[in-house]
Amino acid sequence: MMKPFKPMNVFLPIKKLTAIMVLCLFLVEVCAQATGNSKDGLIKRKKEYFKQHLALAAEEATLFWTVFDHYLEQEQSIHQICTKNLESQGILRVNGKIDERSLSDKQIVFFYDNKLSQKEKMLTLDKEFHQKIKNILSAQSLVNYYNVEKAFKNLVIKKAPK
């Protein structure tokens, strides 16, 4: 007797998508700290990596790359605003890291409030981006996008010094 056909669900459940987005934020931090490069450099490398590894149909490509470029600009803006917020409170990175032991109690609370605010903004941005690209890309291209994103994150982790 044959089993009934079950279509493959190509869309990630929200919990998995949220976990991926939080991981992305973490990876951006790790890469920037580990390499001493700015987040600007990481975003540039991310864009180049996606352009090299994400194959799209011609009708998808035009709309997708416009939306993707806008997403990267907004991502960069969120990181810059959060960094400026920290700097306004005298919280500075030394060698890409913030030494929490050198912060006052008030600065520590501000640091974590700012960090959570950044995560919230990134989650909102990622949700909006997903809503846009799921209407642009075919289901298979959407799967390919998330696979390329995962491969990029793995590459960033692999290149980060231990």
* Mean pLDDT across 61-82: 94
Tokens 């949220």 label which residue? Answer: 18
For 92, 96, 151, 157, the CA distances from 65, given in Å and listed in that order, are 34, 30, 19, 25
Question: What's residue 48's pLDDT?
Answer: 93
Q: Which two tokens stand for residue 135?
A: 């209407």
Question: What's residue 93's pLDDT?
Answer: 86
Is the pLDDT assigned to residue 129 strictly greater than 90?
yes
Provide the whole-model pTM: 0.70
Mean of all residue pLDDT scores within the chain: 82
Question: pLDDT for 140-154, tens place per residue?
Answer: 999 999 999 999 999
74 with 43: CB under 8 angstroms?
Answer: no
Question: What's residue 128's pLDDT?
Answer: 97
Q: Which two tokens stand for residue 51?
A: 């352009």
Domain ranges of the chain: 38-159
134 with 11: CB under 8 angstroms?
Answer: yes
Question: pLDDT for 8-64, tens place per residue?
Answer: 554 555 555 555 554 555 555 544 444 444 566 888 899 999 999 999 999 999 999
Question: What's residue 133's pLDDT?
Answer: 97
